[in-house]
Amino acid sequence: MADTGPNVLIAEERIAPRVDELAARISADYEGVDELVVIGVLKGAFIFLADLARRLTVPHRIDFIAVSSYADGDQRSGEVRMVLDLRESIENRHVLVVEDIVDTGRTLRYLVQQFEARGPASVRTCALTRKKARNEGEIRIDYLGFDIPDMWVVGYGLDYAERHRTLPYIAALDPATLDAD
Ligand code: 5GP
């Protein structure tokens, strides 16, 4: 598979400076806070989270959760459930949820509800990408990387059927070129 080409939606050279900016804003906003709990949504956010967290200048710890939307290919039925919960309590803690992509917004809305019910000091959201056209109602993204068109995207942590996660850029899925390894 070629490393560059017409499928590249967000090149590696654009991702790194944007992640720097987000980390700088987050670090400024949480300055003085004892410890931020940065929660990555597995699996898709693992690369974004790794890059973002390494650029934070405020004290933080990392935790992960995994959710599953009942999926049929890339069609989502909309029901979200937690398949892996946090290791530690977030009571009285400042929480930042880090998502790879916000599509309809159901996953992030579900997670914010779940976390807010646990008595945190605050809950904010960070997403690398958002399909603006698809958002259902209000979902607040406090720190957003990129708005993208309504296409299935892969790379930088995002997969299609578990493939293409480790591409260094974000690409729109084109089965003609992306199906070959
Ligand atoms: P939402 O609940 O916002 O509709 O969907 C969020 C989840 O759907 C994301 O965390 C991700 O797992 C998946 N998703 C939605 N759109 C895409 C996409 O274009 N590519 C990939 N790889 N996953 C997506």
Average pLDDT over every residue of 85-98: 96
Whether residue 137 contacts residue 153, with contact meaning beta carbons closer than 8 Å, is answered with no
Distance (Å, whole) CA 181 – CA 179: 6
Query: Above 90 in pLDDT, residue 70?
Result: no
Q: For ligand 1, say whether the CB of 155 is within 6 Å of any of its atoms.
A: no
Q: Specify the ligand 1 atom closest to the Cα of 105.
A: 3
pLDDT of 68: 87
Closest-lying ligand 1 atom to the alpha carbon of residue 106: 2
What pTM did the predictor assign? 0.90
CA–CA dist 10, 172 (Å, integer): 9
Average pLDDT for 121-139: 87
Q: Is 63 a pocket residue for ligand 1 (Cβ < 6 Å)?
A: no
Catalytic residue among 103, 147, 179, 181: 103
CA of residue 130 to ligand 1 center, whole Å? 9
The reply to whether ligand 1 has any atom less than 6 angstroms from the CB of 106 is yes
Distance 132 CA to ligand 1 centre (A): 12
The verdict on whether 51 is a catalytic residue reads no
Centroid of ligand 1 to alpha carbon of 32 (angstroms): 33
Average model confidence (pLDDT) for the chain? 89
Task: Give the count of beta carbons closer than 10 Å to the beta carbon of residue 76.
Answer: 16
What are the structural domains, with CATH classification, of the chain? Answer: 7-70+79-179 (3.40.50.2020)
Alpha-carbon torsion (92, 63, 98, 137), positive or negative: negative
Average pLDDT value for residue range 116-134: 94
pLDDT of 54 over the 80 cut = yes
Q: What is the mean pLDDT of residues 89-104?
A: 96
Over range 40-58, report the average pLDDT: 97
pLDDT category of residue 138 using cuts at 50, 70 and 90: confident
Does residue 145 line the site of ligand 1, with CB under 6 A? no
Q: At what angle do helices 12-29 and 46-55 cross, to 10 degrees?
A: 50
Percent residues over pLDDT 70 in the chain: 86
Say whether pLDDT at 67 is over 50. yes
- For residue 43, whether the previous peptide bond is cis, meaning omega lies within 30 degrees of 0, is yes
8 A C-beta contact, residue 98 and residue 41? yes
For tokens 């670090």, the residue is 27
> To test ligand 1's pocket by mutation, which of 77, 100, 111, 159 has the most ligand atoms within 8 angstroms of CB?
100
> What is the structure's pLDDT at 4?
47
